[in-house]
Amino acid sequence: MSTVLTQTVRPLPESRDKATQAGNYFVSNYPPFSFWSPKNVGDLHAALDTPPAADTPLGLYVHIPFCRKRCHFCYFKVYTDKNADAISRYIDGLIAELKIYADKAFLGGRTPNFVYFGGGTPSYLSAKQLTQLTDGLKSVLSWDKVEEVTFECEPGTLQEHKLQAIRDFGVTRLSFGIENFSDHILEINGRAHLSKQVYRAYGWARQIGFPQINIDLISGMLEETEENWIENVRKTIELDPDCVTIYQMEIPFNTTIYKGMKEAGKLTAPVADWDTKRRWVKYAFDELAKHGYEISSAYTAVKNKAQTKFIYRDALWEGADLLSVGVASFGHIHGVHYQNVKDIEPYCDTVEAGDLPVFRALKITPEEALIREMILQMKRGRLDVSYFREKFGVDITERFAEEWEHFAAEGFVTVSKDEVVLDRDALLQVDTMLHEFMLPEHREARYT
């Protein structure tokens, strides 16, 4: 791979991430999932029977586990072989599951402030199925107070009438999983769509007038080159989305790519190393900034920061309740994390019997809640010291003084009495940094 970009990213002092090895680097929650257990499911039931803490927002997450084909880097449980009857049964199951929650005390009269359709591929469903699903969900819990509805879509599954239906049932933030503009790279990574489908679907979405369009890219897919990455950034800017989200390729253990590594006895994944992936994201952020975007998190650039909100992300990072429905989905209610059963048959059987399909849970301690919010909010590049003092009664500059000093010594963070600010290079490797703030027993979970 030839290098044409001059940007560099200063590596963190303890950086051990040079080559891309198998494991999860992206920190999406805390404590890690491996600490959640079936023996704690009773804690979720107790939380559901407890009225909510004052002013806790409520989100609804709806998981759609179907995809046209499985991407080689995918680590989710997805189904590529379900027929219309199986999908219809699943849709009824989602509505049935929501009904089980509807009369529990934790709601305390709340209805959702935001809704997120994730997967899998929510846009795999037909317009008719989606309308049936959303009508059913709204009949259980009103969407009158909903401020944002996010919907993930795969470009090749969209038609104009389906996008119109998606807008009509209330989606405000449409998120395109583009990942790359090169058909060769899309194919070699097992993606189902091609670039011409991106342009067609994006044009319809703009015409229909979604308030916010996000596009997802991945830095460092199989066979990515620096020249192609530059082209990806150029094409992204040309499309002029409201928001651009860039992930750095990781290779979790249950991916097709990892299986290939294992069979070949290789420890290093056949993708760019971490320095290169960060350099590419830095380049993308710099180019986006030149075209009027602002960096709103480690992964996100937005056109107009004051207007282009991502309520789902910010509410979760600030401790909102997330009522999550669907197979294998993750939720958080009243200080208890939970995940549903991972297979679709037992999921449907359980909700049809009127029972909650929860598989494992974890009640978090006040200290874990503090760490969770702090490390998630670090992904925005700035921490407000007074927020944590007021909410948790803790001065984070004192509680984590040693850790801040470690990163401040080389200019990665600046700490004052009011705020902690991460510099851009720190932000580009924030997921590595976050492990330093976890309790000792949680630090190595990404390698297990």
Question: Which residue ranges make up the site for ligand SF4 (CB under 6 A)?
Answer: 67, 70-71, 74, 76, 78, 119-121, 154, 177
Q: How far is the CB of 177 from ligand SF4 (least distance, A)?
A: 6
Of residues 154 and 242, the one with the C-beta less far from ligand SF4: 154
Of residues 76 and 253, the one with the C-beta less far from ligand SF4: 76
Q: How far is the CB of 190 from ligand SF4 (least distance, A)?
A: 7
Of residues 75 and 387, the one with the C-beta less far from ligand SF4: 75
Q: For 40, which DSSP code?
A: G
Q: How far is the CB of 312 from ligand SF4 (least distance, A)?
A: 17
* 284 contacts 219 by C-beta, under 8 angstroms: yes
Of residues 121 and 150, the one with the C-beta less far from ligand SF4: 121
Q: How far is the CB of 76 from ligand SF4 (least distance, A)?
A: 5
What angle is formed at CA 221 by the lines to CA 219 and CA 223, rounded to 5 degrees? 125
- Give the other-Cβ count within 10 Å of 68's Cβ: 15
The Cα 71–Cα 82 span in angstroms is 17
Q: How far is the CB of 80 from ligand SF4 (least distance, A)?
A: 8
Of residues 70 and 89, the one with the C-beta less far from ligand SF4: 70
* 376 contacts 314 by C-beta, under 8 angstroms: no
Query: Which segments of 204-349 are extended strands (E)?
Result: 212-219, 243-248, 294-295, 300-302, 321-325, 330-333, 336-340
The Cα 273–Cα 430 span in angstroms is 16
Q: Which residues of 232-270 are buried (b: 16+ CB within 10 A; e: fewer)?
A: bbebbbebebbbbbbbbbbbbeebbbbeebeeeeeeebe
Gyration radius from the chain CA atoms? 21
* 86 contacts 124 by C-beta, under 8 angstroms: no
CA dihedral 149, 152, 155, 159 (to 10 degrees): -40
Of residues 252 and 346, the one with the C-beta less far from ligand SF4: 252
Q: How far is the CB of 3 from ligand SF4 (least distance, A)?
A: 28
Q: How far is the CB of 35 from ligand SF4 (least distance, A)?
A: 24
Q: How far is the CB of 227 from ligand SF4 (least distance, A)?
A: 25
Task: Return the residue matching tokens 């509805």.
Answer: 149
Of residues 77 and 104, the one with the C-beta less far from ligand SF4: 77
Hey, what amino acid is at 241? Answer: P
What angle is formed at CA 35 by the lines to CA 33 and CA 36, rounded to 5 degrees? 70
Question: Between the CA of residue 410 and those of 42, 229, 276, 403, 413, what are the distances in Å?
Answer: 46, 29, 21, 12, 8
Of residues 31 and 120, the one with the C-beta less far from ligand SF4: 120
Q: How far is the CB of 89 from ligand SF4 (least distance, A)?
A: 20
By beta carbon distance, the residue nearest ligand SF4 is 74
Of residues 93 and 156, the one with the C-beta less far from ligand SF4: 156
